[in-house]
Amino acid sequence: MSSASRPPGEPGLLLRAVLALLLLAAAAGVALALVAGQVAPGLSGAVAAALPDSGASNPVTAVLLNFRGYDTLLEMAVLTAAVVGVWSLGPAPRIRETEPSPVLLGMNSVLIPLAPLICAYLLWAGSSRPGGAFQAGAVLAAAGVLFIISGRRPAVHLPAAPMSWGIVAGLGVFLAVALAVMPGGRELLEYPRGLAGALILLVETAATVSIALILAGLFIGGRPEDEP
Partner 1 sequence: MSTWLAALPWMVLAIAIPLLGALAAFVQPRRAQVIGLSFSFLTAGAAVGVVLDFITLGPQQHAVGGWGAPLGIDLVADGLSILMLGMSAVVGVAVSIYARAYFVPYPDKAPRFWPLWLFLWAALNALFQSADVFNLYVTLELMGLSAVALVALTGSGPALWGAMRYLLVSLLGSLAYLVGVALLYHAYGTVDLTLLAERADGGLQLAVPLGAMIAGLLLKTGLFPFHVWLPPAHGSARAPVSALLSGLVVKASFYLVLRLWFTFVPEGEGLPLLLGCLGAAAIFWGSIQALRQKRLKLLVAYSTVAQLGYLFIAFPLAGLEPQMAWSGSIYLALSHAFAKGAMFLAAGAIMTQGGHDEIDELDLVVDRMPLTLAAFALAGISLAGLPPSGGFVGKWLLLESAMAQGKGIWAAIIIVGGLLTATYVFRVLGFAFTRSEHHHERHEVPAAMEWTALLLALGAVLLGFVAPWALPLLDGVLP
Residue 84 or 202: which CB sits closer to partner 1?
A: 84
What distances in angstroms separate CA 32 from CA 28, 138, 185, one per listed residue? 6, 37, 47
Q: Contact, 222 vs 150, CB < 8 A?
A: no
Residue 105 or 179: which CB sits closer to partner 1?
A: 179
Measured distance CA(164)–CA(150) in Å, rounded? 23
Residue 15 or 105: which CB sits closer to partner 1?
A: 15
Give the footprint of partner 1 on residues 190-219 (CB under 8 A): 190-191
Residue 83: closest CA among 182, 24, 169: 169
Stretch that binds partner 1, among 83-91, 98-106, 123-131, 134-142 (CB under 8 A): 83-91
Query: Which of 1, 4, 14, 36 contacts partner 1 by CB under 8 A?
Result: 36
Q: Contact, 91 vs 223, CB < 8 A?
A: yes
Q: Contact, 151 vs 99, CB < 8 A?
A: yes
In the complex, the residues that contact partner 1 under the rule CB under 8 A are: 26, 29-30, 32-34, 36-37, 39-43, 46-47, 50, 66-71, 74-75, 77-78, 80-82, 84-85, 87-90, 161, 164-165, 167-168, 171-172, 175, 178-179, 182, 186-191, 227-228
